């Protein structure tokens, strides 16, 4: 595998919502909720802030100086069109060159890991030197006002990640898919004949997603270490998908990970779906907490149900 | 690049529609239409025949004997869910193993070429030996009854393609993307806040798509030959996306391709979007018109706007 991340940019919606205030408004038990989720703020996109607009805002910070993008991977579960491919629309709006491969990948909480895997595969192509991954989701547009568990958990947001050709030691990715949990986190509409008068609505069975996570993520993390012949000691950080406090604390306990190897920011940003892991990497880079050669285990899990994990080198 | 197609299966909807009868019904000029499109029949999916159901019917013919699929790529512009990933749902319904990579790619008329490119990249992974690509689209569900040009052109359908690890000479893929044509073929809804009371509707500016195709497909085909150091003479076949008679005949003329190197079946199946090229390959295999080592140039083009082309080895 070739490729290293050289730049990460972030765009969050303007509307930052305090969970404390939200709970006061709806008379929800704030202390009970924060104890489980650990999330203090979420970001809700406005009508004008579509997934593509957030994506473009994040990506512009990369592409205004670098138009030589050879491949654009747009990871989203908030498409604005069935067709054309959203990545084609983004190619034009960013003013990227036309001899480019551009496609959308539909994946959620594992989306960034899928995107990075695809980027690293693409970089083996002689004609490809720079891959731009953009993760963007706007789950909250489809959350009903009385859906307490989703409304206090999910944030909208976009991250743009530039991956450049670089010879690294090949890293093995580990994937796990169990579509029998398709109803555990779902945005449903009836075929593409949309149900009249009805806005599709996000539904989640948090307990079932938690059980899946606890049953399978630890073994996938262990397999990722084993297949890459890397020990927990050799890792600088472990970055989990920022699902919520209860999920991450249980994973840390079950895998016996030293706390100084964990980076987390769910308290400040909520669960931004495919952007949670790049949002952590963005902060680690900005705060200069990582340097070249550092090994980081990244693991996404959730909707699908799906798990994707690897070890990346800074 | 590694990988060779070892099996292709097809599922078309039950409802086969004669364009002659359709024209009689709506009082459209059949002779004028057939002169342009060359399409005698199209297939319309019924309410019960969703893209996923067609996909599963096609893929079952492969997976009932082979459950050892390591990667599932679902190419569609007719998703049934924004989330979960449609490929996860298909993994479960086909009873595939769980240590599998499964994701959706959104691409249209270039979809199969994008899928094959991804499959061949994935096959470079040590843990991946069998990739299942499924292309499935149901454009006609979103065509209004008075939309003559779309209704006499598009068909629904699914194709499943098994790609196995095999050492071939590396093949170069050529891609071209121009999102400035986003409105030339579009299925629009307003963000994922669907417009109330309105079923999203397919719209096409056939003239603009034709101009794009004629301006750029010939140079992409020539580049594909050049980058792969293959001459037209060395090809057994050229398979274009089965857009319509006028498109394909103009491409043949412009590129000066001998007619015995062209395989086409749009007259019998219409434009099945991402399935047109595998549908041609399926027939070539079935009729034993190709054998191991034959070189075939495949080129998809259309919605996006997007072009994808390569030379594959049988």
Q: CA-CA distance, A94 to A226, in Å (whole number)?
A: 40
Contacts of A107 in chain B (CB under 8 A): 85, 103-104
Please state, in angstroms and rounded to a whole number, the distance separating the CA atoms of residues B63 and A174: 22
- CATH among 1.10.357.10, 3.40.47.10, 3.40.640.10, 1.10.3720.10 for B174-313: 3.40.47.10
pLDDT greater than 50 at residue B87: yes
Least confident stretch, A186-195, B103-112, B129-138, B268-277? A186-195
At residue A178, the 3 state secondary structure works out as coil
| Same fold across B2-167 and B174-313 | yes
**A145 or B122: which leads in pLDDT:** B122
Q: Mutating which of B94, B133, B191 best tests the A interface, going by the most A Cβ atoms within 10 A?
A: B191
Lowest average pLDDT, out of B78-87, B144-153, B182-191, B271-280, goes to B182-191
For B233, the token pair is 């003479």
pLDDT above 80: residue A195: no
Q: Are B242 and B299 spatial neighbours (Cβ–Cβ below 8 Å)?
A: no
Considering only CA atoms, which of A305, A312, A269, A313 is closest in space to residue A37? A269
Q: Do A80 and B192 touch (CB under 8 A)?
A: yes
Confidence of residue B197 (pLDDT cuts 50, 70, 90): very low
From B178, B140, B184, select the one nearest B273 (Cα to Cα): B140
CB contact under 8 A, A106 and B106: yes
Surface-to-core class of residue B165, CB atoms within 10 Å of its CB (0-12 exposed, 13-18 middle, 19+ buried): middle
Q: Say what the ipTM of the complex is.
A: 0.95
State the pLDDT at residue A110. Answer: 98
**Rounded to whole angstroms, how far apart are CA atoms A28 and B296?**
63
- Residue among B78, B177, B180 minimizing CB distance to A102: B177
pLDDT band at B292 (very low <50, low <70, confident <90, very high): very high
Q: Do A88 and B308 touch (CB under 8 A)?
A: no
Per-residue confidence (pLDDT) for residue A198, from 0 to 100: 60
**Per the structure block, which two tokens stand in for A213?**
């996570």
Q: Is A148 on the interface with B (CB under 8 A)?
A: no
How many contacts (CB atoms, under 8 Å) link A and B?
253
Which DSSP string do the residues of A218-239 spell out, in sequence order? HHHHHHHHHHTT--GGG-SEEE
Question: CA of A260, closest CA in chain B: separation in Å?
Answer: 30
Q: What is the mean pLDDT of residues B201-227?
A: 95
Just give the CATH number of B2-167.
3.40.47.10
Q: What are the chain A neighbours of B89 within 8 Å (beta carbons)?
A: 179, 182
**What's the CA gap between B51 and B294, in Å, rounded?**
32
Tokens of B2: 């590694």
Q: State the average pLDDT over residues A138-144.
A: 92
Contact B96, B63 (CB under 8 A): yes
Q: Which of residues 10-39 of B touch A (CB under 8 A)?
A: none
Name the residue of chain A whose CA is nearest to B122's CA. Answer: A121
Is B83 touching A (CB cutoff 8 A)? yes
From residue A313, give the alpha-carbon distance in Å to each of A69, A255, B103. Answer: 22, 21, 24
- Chain segment A99-119, per-residue pLDDT in tens: 999 999 999 999 999 999 999
- Kindly give the pairing relationship between strand A15-18 and strand A41-44: antiparallel
pLDDT at B191: 44
Nearest by CB to residue A200, choosing from B101, B186, B194, is B194
* Tokens describing residue B241: 């996306």
Residues of B in contact with A175 (CB under 8 A): 99-102
Please provide the average confidence, as pLDDT, over all residues in chain A: 94
Q: How confident is the model at residue B77 (pLDDT cuts 50, 70, 90)?
A: very high
Partner-chain residue, chosen from A51, A83, A101, that has the shortest CB–CB distance to B175 = A101
Give Cβ neighbours of residue B41 (< 8 Å, ≥ 6 apart). B16, B17, B18, B19, B155, B267, B268, B269, B270
> Phi, psi (5° rounding) for residue A25?
-60, -45
Report whether pLDDT(B192) > 70: no
Q: Which residue among B106, B138, B180 sits closest to A192, beta carbon to beta carbon?
A: B138
Confidence of residue A192 (pLDDT cuts 50, 70, 90): very low
- Contact predicate A232/A261, CB 8 Å: yes
Signed CA dihedral, A205, A211, A215, A217: sign only = positive
A71-75 vs A2-11, strand pairing mode: unpaired
A contacts of B138 (beta carbons < 8 Å)? 191-192
Does the beta carbon of B175 lie under 8 angstroms from any beta carbon of chain A? yes
The answer to whether B141 touches B76, Cβ cutoff 8 Å, is no
Average pLDDT, rounded, for chain B: 94
Give the domain ranges of chain B.
2-167, 174-313
Using the Cβ of B2 and the Cβ atoms of chain A, whether some distance falls under 8 Å is answered with: no
What is the least distance, in Å, from the CA of A102 to any CA of chain B?
Answer: 7
Give B222-238 pLDDT, tens digit per residue: 999 999 999 999 999 99
| Confidence bin at B1 (pLDDT 50/70/90) | low
pLDDT in tens, A57-111: 999 999 998 889 999 999 999 998 889 999 999 999 999 999 999 999 999 999 9
User: Is the model's pLDDT at A281 over the cut of 50?
Assistant: yes
């Amino acid at each position: 595998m070739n490729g290293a991340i050289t730049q990460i940019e972030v765009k969050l919606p303007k509307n930052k919502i305090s969970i404390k205030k939200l709970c006061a408004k709806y008379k929800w038990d704030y202390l009970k909720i924060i104890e489980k989720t650990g999330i203090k703020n979420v970001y809700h996109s406005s009508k004008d802030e579509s997934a593509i607009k957030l994506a473009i805002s994040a990506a512009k910070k990369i592409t205004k100086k670098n138009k030589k993008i050879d491949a654009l991977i747009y990871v989203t579960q908030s498409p604005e069109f069935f067709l054309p491919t959203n990545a084609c629309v983004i190619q034009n709006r960013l003013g990227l060159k036309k001899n480019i491969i551009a496609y959308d990948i539909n994946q959620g909480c594992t989306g960034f890991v899928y995107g990075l895997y695809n980027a690293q595969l693409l970089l083996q192509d002689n004609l490809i030197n720079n891959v731009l991954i953009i993760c963007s989701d706007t789950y909250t547009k489809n959350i009903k006002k009385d859906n307490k568990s989703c409304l206090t958990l999910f944030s909208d947001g976009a991250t743009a990640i530039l991956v450049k050709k670089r010879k690294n030691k090949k890293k093995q990715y580990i994937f796990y898919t169990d579509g029998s949990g398709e109803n555990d986190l779902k945005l449903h509409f009836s075929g593409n004949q949309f149900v009249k008068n009805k806005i599709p609505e996000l539904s989640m069975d948090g307990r079932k997603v938690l059980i899946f996570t606890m049953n399978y993520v630890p073994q996938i993390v262990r397999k990722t270490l084993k297949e890459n012949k890397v020990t927990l000691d050799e890792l600088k950080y472990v970055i989990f998908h920022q699902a919520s406090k209860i999920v991450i604390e249980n994973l840390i306990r079950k895998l016996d990970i030293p706390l100084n190897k964990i980076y987390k920011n769910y308290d400040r940003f909520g669960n931004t779906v495919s952007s949670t892991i790049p949002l952590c990497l963005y902060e680690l880079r900005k705060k200069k907490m990582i340097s070249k050669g550092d090994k980081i285990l990244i693991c996404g899990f959730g909707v699908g149900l799906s798990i994707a994990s690897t070890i990346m080198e800074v």
